[in-house]
Amino acid sequence: EAAVTQSPRNKVAVTGGKVTLSCNQTNNHNNMYWYRQDTGHGLRLIHYSYGAGSTEKGDIPDGYKASRPSQENFSLILELATPSQTSVYFCASGVSGGAGQNTLYFGAGTRLSVL
């Protein structure tokens, strides 16, 4: 069974502070993703990665950085957190390429509140 673990599960941060959300997968998947979910918006893609050392911008990358130091780990970094970044963040992993079967496996989510 695919396993994606996010930490922390809950985080309260202050405006202007630095926040790092971590994600670890034990599936040996090439691709990893960071989404945020807000009421009425579904999941929106922030950053993703095709493998160690690579990061790509998604639809809403402003205010976020990503880091993929290894196949297993993918971090989302908020250098200067703002209240608008209060949200639930989901990490996912998936197999790249091929027709029709890039199923994503999601972590349990991180609830971030920026005060």
The footprint of another protein (CB under 8 A) covers: 31, 33, 35, 40-45, 48, 50, 58-59, 88, 90, 92, 94, 96-106, 108-109
Nearest Cα neighbor of 93 from 84, 80, 102 is: 102
**Is residue 22 classed exposed, middle or buried when 0-12, 13-18 and 19+ CB atoms within 10 A define those classes?**
middle
Q: Cα 22 from chain centroid?
A: 8
- Minimum CB separation of residue 3 from another protein in Å reads 13
- Minimum CB separation of residue 16 from another protein in Å reads 28
**Is the Cβ of residue 108 or residue 115 nearer to another protein in the bound state?**
108
